Amino acid sequence: MYRLLYLLACLLAVSAGLYLGLPWWTPAIFTAVLAVLFPVWRRGGFWFAFVAGFLTWGIYTGYLHVDSEGRLTDRLAVTFGVVSGWNMVLITACWGGLTAGLGGWFGASLRRAFWREAKVVTDA
């Protein structure tokens, strides 16, 4: 059950970061904090945060692509040598997912490292 709550919390955190206009790297911080709070493994911490970041960034950039009728993304696609604007939307979604996923992995690893240290200290 906590995995579903972690996924929903990551979706909400990444969406809030986009809504507030925060920098692109803030989902990593949000998902790292959430992975420290929720008891997820490192693999789950990465993949659930990746899915949350991928969906949020993909939907957001897809909306911007449709809203601007592809003007901005098509121009950026030519600049970066990508075939179409929809490929830029996919690349942006992957980048957002990777950023959030690495933040979740870091947070889960940090939680595990501190949990091990606390267990070793209490056993001694």
Query: Hey, what amino acid is at 67?
Result: D
Counting residues of the chain whose pLDDT is more than 70, the rounded percentage is 93
Give pLDDT tens digits for 76-117.
899 989 989 999 999 999 999 999 999 999 999 998 888 765
Average pLDDT over the chain reads 88
Torsion sign across C-alpha atoms 63, 64, 68, 71: negative
* Mean of pLDDT values over 19-34: 92
Residue with tokens 């986009």: 18
Q: How far is CA 42 from the centre of its chain?
A: 14
pLDDT band for position 40 (cuts 50, 70, 90)? confident
- 3-state percent helix, strand, coil for the chain, nearest multiple of 5: 85, 0, 15
The residue count for the chain: 124
User: Where along the chain do its domains lie?
Assistant: 2-13+25-36+43-112
